[in-house]
Amino acid sequence: MTVTAWVTSASGRYPVRVGRGLLAGVGPGLRASGFQGRVAVVSDATVLEEWGPVLLLNLESAGYSPEVLSIVPGEASKTVATAEVFWGRLIESGFGRGDLLVACGGGVVGDLGGFVAATFHRGMRLLQVPTTLLAQVDSSIGGKVAVDHRLGKNLVGAFYPPEQVVSDVETLATLPARERWNGLAEVVKVALVRDADFVAELERDLETLADGPVNERLEAVVAHAARLKAEIVSADEREGGIRMLLNFGHTLGHALEATTGYAALSHGEAVVVGMKAAVRLSAVLGSLGEVETTRVLALLGRFPHPLGLVKPSSEAVRAAALRDKKAVGGKLRYVVLRGIGQGAVEPLPQERLDEAVALALEAL
């Protein structure tokens, strides 16, 4: 059964559809909506091999001739250089502002494809078709699009909402286990800052969600996490208030990704480490009690721990954190927990930043 959440943005409302078999309906859906323009598909080699035939064939059967823009999988492709190649392809092929870009893939594809759409002719139409758990519950929702800079992750980007998000949970069947865990980090994150009952459900089902079949339970979890994200970004599209809660674990998570070269740690793995540090700092600050701290750390401790990492220096992590887009005037706005399901944003004094970095490196 398809579940639809709605996101309210400055440019209007758009749906986030979660269900099974939705990928095969993209082309027919566009045709039924009356769309007469051209279609470009941004994806990566892995997704195109697994799901490209389904998407491209139904686009073609609906009368479109999709232009495929493919990247090498991985964060290293999420750069201005890649965007420039894609801009050139779109220009040479005669695409215009009224044409559509379909970003079909994980978080990297969604961020990059969205950035290309936002900047080409000052904005072309965008459809997000996330195929990973992380993208379906988090990165495809809310209109954040970006590329990385050598000095940090997602430092060059925009707020650019899609016309809709189409999340076909059947695509999760081909995900490696590490990628399932990667997405579950974002599910746990939104639960910890927003929904205590959801945390209890995840405590019960975590390993099954990571390693089990794509079934109604997983579909329900994706839909619920997507709904929570949609509610938050609808209330605060530009991240001036409540949306900042979604940065829980990300301040130091992004810094760890940058200082380990975006390869040794997946995004979810880095966020889990960042959440562990944030939980322990919450306890130090007195905002989270001992029982709750123990409970949350036990949940986070069930995530697989990356092995063989060379730890970056505390100085490098600290510098990367201060370059983060969430820093204002050299100070970080840091998300802590005031209870399970109750996130809060606190300014992080200098001495506390050093303590948070130490806690993150200890958890790494």
Has 150 been annotated as catalytic?
Answer: no
Same domain for 279 and 153, yes or no, is no
Compute the average pLDDT of residues 185-197: 98
Has 50 been annotated as catalytic?
Answer: no
Confidence of residue 349 (pLDDT cuts 50, 70, 90): confident
CA dist 247 and 129 (Å) reads 23
Last-in-domain residue among 130, 156, 174:
174
Catalytic member of 182, 247, 276, 280 = 247
Has 122 been annotated as catalytic?
Answer: yes
Compute the average pLDDT of residues 122-128: 98
Has 292 been annotated as catalytic?
Answer: no
Catalytic member of 17, 38, 78, 144 = 144
Catalytic member of 38, 227, 250, 280 = 250
User: Is residue 25 assigned to a domain?
Assistant: yes
Token representation of residue 33:
């909506």
Same domain for 149 and 269, yes or no, is no
Has 362 been annotated as catalytic?
Answer: no
Q: What is the pLDDT of residue 326?
A: 61
Same domain for 169 and 255, yes or no, is no
Q: Which residues contact 287 (CB under 8 A, 6 or more apart)?
A: 336, 337, 338, 344, 346
User: Is residue 323 assigned to a domain?
Assistant: yes
CA dist 281 and 104 (Å) reads 37
Same domain for 307 and 164, yes or no, is no
How do residues 30-55 score in pLDDT, each as one tens digit?
999 999 999 999 999 999 999 999 99
Are the CB atoms for 186 and 134 separated by under 8 Å? Answer: yes
User: Is residue 232 assigned to a domain?
Assistant: no
Last-in-domain residue among 123, 146, 174:
174
Question: Which neighbouring-strand residues pair with 259?
Answer: none
CA dist 275 and 321 (Å) reads 14
Same domain for 253 and 140, yes or no, is no
Same domain for 120 and 259, yes or no, is no
List the domain range (segments joined by +) for residue 36.
3-174
pTM over 0.85: yes
**Domain of residue 120, CATH code:** 3.40.50.1970
Are the CB atoms for 136 and 18 separated by under 8 Å? Answer: yes
User: Is residue 46 assigned to a domain?
Assistant: yes
- Residue 143: how many CB atoms within 10 A of its CB? 22
Same domain for 280 and 134, yes or no, is no
Confidence of residue 152 (pLDDT cuts 50, 70, 90): confident
CA dist 268 and 179 (Å) reads 8
Same domain for 160 and 33, yes or no, is yes
User: Is residue 193 assigned to a domain?
Assistant: no
Compute the average pLDDT of residues 236-244: 93
Same domain for 164 and 253, yes or no, is no
Q: What is the pLDDT of residue 331?
A: 67
What DSSP line would sit under 76-108, residue for residue? GG-SHHHHHHHHHHHHHTT--TTSEEEEEESHH
User: Is residue 338 assigned to a domain?
Assistant: yes
**Domain of residue 300, CATH code:** 1.20.1090.10
Pairing of strands 152-159, 144-149: antiparallel
Confidence of residue 251 (pLDDT cuts 50, 70, 90): very high
Q: Which residues contact 55 (CB under 8 A, 6 or more apart)?
A: 23, 26, 27, 41, 102, 104, 129
Number of domains into which the chain is organized: 2
Q: CA triplet 339, 342, 345: central angle to 5 degrees?
A: 110
Catalytic member of 254, 276, 280, 318 = 254
Same domain for 46 and 153, yes or no, is yes
Has 189 been annotated as catalytic?
Answer: no
Same domain for 278 and 156, yes or no, is no
How do residues 303-324 score in pLDDT, each as one tens digit?
998 888 889 999 999 999 988 7
Q: What is the pLDDT of residue 328?
A: 58
Q: What is the pLDDT of residue 261?
A: 87
Percent of the chain with pLDDT over 90: 87
Q: What is the pLDDT of residue 330?
A: 57
Has 254 been annotated as catalytic?
Answer: yes
User: Is residue 291 assigned to a domain?
Assistant: yes
CA dist 17 and 29 (Å) reads 12
Same domain for 55 and 151, yes or no, is yes
Has 326 been annotated as catalytic?
Answer: no
User: Is residue 197 assigned to a domain?
Assistant: no
- Computed over every residue of the chain, the mean pLDDT equals 95
Catalytic member of 67, 179, 239, 269 = 239
DSSP 20: S
Q: Which of 300, 233, 226 lies closest to 270, judged by CA?
A: 300
